Amino acid sequence: MLYTQLFLLLCTLFFTHVSTKNSTQPLFIQCPNTTEIVEFKHNFCESRLQHYEGPELYNAYTSLFITTVPLFIGFPENEAFYNVAYALFFNGFASFYYHYYLSWIGKQADEISMIFANYFGMVGLLNLRYNNKKNLKIYHFVNLLYMYQCLIFNTVIQFDKWFPLAFGLYITPAIYLIRDIAILHNVEYKKYLVISTIGFLSWMISEIFCNEYTVYGHVVWHFLFPLGFYLILMKYDKIYTRVQKQRLALSVLETH
């Protein structure tokens, strides 16, 4: 009930705000320690086909699907994975705002929530994969450090075009852990990863070969990329619950 109320409240706030504006405005930012003024203007394929003008209606409204993924599939039990669900819930609205206004604040809201989703996903995967506390501290520190660097990187306007690369590098160890855990616990993951991969490739194709047909690639990204990974997350959440019980039982036996 709480999630439904929050969902309706955010819908009301966003659509009320959207109805008051119908154009995007470029943002000019002064670079630190210099007098140089840099204009922020980011256009995905949809707005490039609209003479570099927003809003990107297809991209904006399909972004809301991301918010519904945890609402319809369910929320995990593991705390770290639970935070991934929260990040996706808010990312849908943030992505909607970004595509509608193509603004700097929209970029930050969208991409920072993506960074947080991967960070918490890594936390859960690391806790599931490793039991050595000393090694875990090192891995968690590296994860935190890269997340922190991504946030700093994201505030530099000149690095805007490099976000897909930075995020891709960040998600790579998560994919490695997904595979490693699947082998360790003998669980299926490839079909879910294929779903997300199709979404990713669709987005890349739409941006590289932008035309009236490939423009829908970003829409496919919104549907498939979060769905595939979230299905993996829910499957691994059940494994995590089982593993935690086993670890607890083992620790009790060791104390006796």
- For residue range 139-190, list pLDDT tens digits in order: 999 999 999 999 999 998 888 889 999 999 999 999 999 999 999 999 999 9
Q: Is residue 78 part of a domain?
A: yes
Q: Is residue 80 part of a domain?
A: yes
pTM: 0.84
The pair of three-digit structure tokens given for residue 18, joined into one six-digit string: 């959207």
- CATH code, domain with 47: 1.20.1070
Q: Is residue 12 part of a domain?
A: no
Nearest Cα to Cα of residue 44 among 160, 142, 133 = 160
Structural domain including 61 reads 25-250
| Structural domains counted in the chain | 1
Q: Is residue 140 part of a domain?
A: yes
The pair of three-digit structure tokens given for residue 41, joined into one six-digit string: 């203007």
Q: Is residue 11 part of a domain?
A: no
The one-letter amino acid code at 46 reads E
Q: Is residue 189 part of a domain?
A: yes
pLDDT, tens only, 4-45 = 444 444 444 444 444 334 444 455 554 555 556 567 788 899
Helices marked H in the chain: 2-19, 45-48, 57-73, 79-101, 104-129, 133-154, 163-185, 190-208, 217-255
CB 243, CB 128: distance < 8 Å: yes
- At 38, give phi and psi (nearest 5°): -115, 135
Q: Is residue 203 part of a domain?
A: yes
